[in-house]
Structure formats: structure tokens, C-alpha cells
Amino acid sequence: MKKKAALFAFLVFFVGCSNDNKITINNLSDGRIYFNFRATQYIIGIDSMRTIDEIPNGVYTYATTYITPSSVTSATVSGNAVPGSVTFEKENTQILLIYSATTFNGAYTLEATMTSSGSGGVTSPTSP
């Protein structure tokens, strides 16, 4: 009986300690996005979404590279599309990063907005 009680306590402890931190990247721009995070490059196609899950609590930097349409003569980035960092302070934090782009007179601007749910998830772009 003691073995069963110890096994039950062990399972409850580890099941209750699951960490579901994740980042979901939604690419609404008209080019591929390369999201560099935790020493891995994630490729997000046009009109595609990608989720990175099981992220431990901590502070992580990220960077974005991208492909522009062939008609573009200049490109800039703004918002959370610039390199930055994200902080997971509490478990079960979910972050949504949405990329969009505009093209005007050959000038391409890639923008990203980031929101989080849960009580953690502080984000900050790096200053140029």
C-alpha cells in the first residue's frame, strides 16, 4: 500500500509541474520569415503558423530574417520584428507573434506585434 501511495504522490507531483510555455508565430507578410530562437532557426512560410512549445522559464533572445518580394527596392523592420528578448516568468505563458508587411513605391516594411497571455511573458525589442 505504501508503494502505491508513493507512486501516486510522485505522479501527481510531476503531472502538476508541467510547463506549457509557448510562442506561436503567425506570418501574414508576403515573404518567408526565419525566426531564430534558442539556437534553432524556424522557417515560417507565407500565411503559415508555427508553434514552439515546452520552453523553460527564463530570458531568451530572438532575431528575425526574412525574404522580400522581387519588386522591392528597399526594406525596413519595425516593432517586434527587430531583434529582442522574451521572458517567461511563470509557467503556462503563451506568446503570439504576428508578422505583417506593407509595400509602398518599392519600399517594404516588415512589422511584428507580440502579445502574451498568462501572468508571465514580458517582451522587449532591442534598441537600435
> Could you tell me the pTM of the whole model?
0.78
Cα–Cα distance, 102 to 115 (Å, whole number): 21
pLDDT of residue 12: 43
pLDDT of residue 89: 86
Cα–Cα distance, 68 to 23 (Å, whole number): 24
pLDDT of residue 127: 44
Report CA-CA distances (Å) from 64 to 14, 84, 109: 35, 9, 13
CA end-to-end span of the chain: 63
The domain defined by 19-125 folds into Immunoglobulin-like (2.60.40)
Mean pLDDT, the chain cut into blocks of 10 residues (128 residues total): 51 56 96 96 97 94 92 91 89 93 94 81 52
pLDDT of residue 97: 95
pLDDT of residue 120: 55
